[in-house]
Amino acid sequence: MVQASRWKDFTGWGTVEGQWLRRRHFSDETLTRVAERIRQAEAAHSGELMVAIEAASPLHEPDSELRALEVFGRLRAWDTPLNTGVLLYLALDKRAMHIIADRGVTAGDAQWQGVCDRLRERLRLKQYEAGLLAAIDEIEAILTASCPPLAPGVPNTNDLPDRPVLL
């Protein structure tokens, strides 16, 4: 029993609230709608959005912003041809969210913080899917304005998965 408890603490699976929120509010149907919204929006610009939802943060990185940077790297969101990868990271157990953008995206930190603030408020009001979809729409509008334009005749590739990654 002690081993199981240590494993839960180490991996974060001991945190019940984040797991419950993820199962209850980020169903397969919701994730499919989110993926479709991202796929459709990315056709209009060279940016690449990836969403990562973590139910329970691991103990090795207690700072949610540093964890978002770690996830950005591990999921290879930086690995796009024009350096236009963007990660929307949600740490459900900590009620934290961060947006990490690669160097090819010229948007400022204040724009990303505004998206996070509005998303945080929608989640506080228990508008989980609507809040996430609205945040995606805002991010996609920012990417349209702050990513390099698509070159004429060059196909717009989809280099990052559109379906949110559950951690």
Exposure of 43 by Cβ count < 10 A (0-12 exposed, 13-18 middle, 19+ buried)?
A: exposed
DSSP 3-state percent helix, strand, coil across the chain (nearest 5): 50, 15, 40
According to DSSP, residue 151 is labeled P
Domains and CATH numbers, the chain: 15-148+159-166 (3.10.310.50)
pTM: 0.85
Quick check: 136 and 41 in contact, CB under 8 A?
Answer: yes
Higher pLDDT, 131 or 55: 131
Confidence of residue 148 (pLDDT cuts 50, 70, 90): confident
Short-list 158, 138, 117, 136, CA closest to 30: 136
66-117 pLDDT, tens digit per residue, is 999 999 999 999 889 899 999 999 998 888 999 999 999 999 999 999 999 9
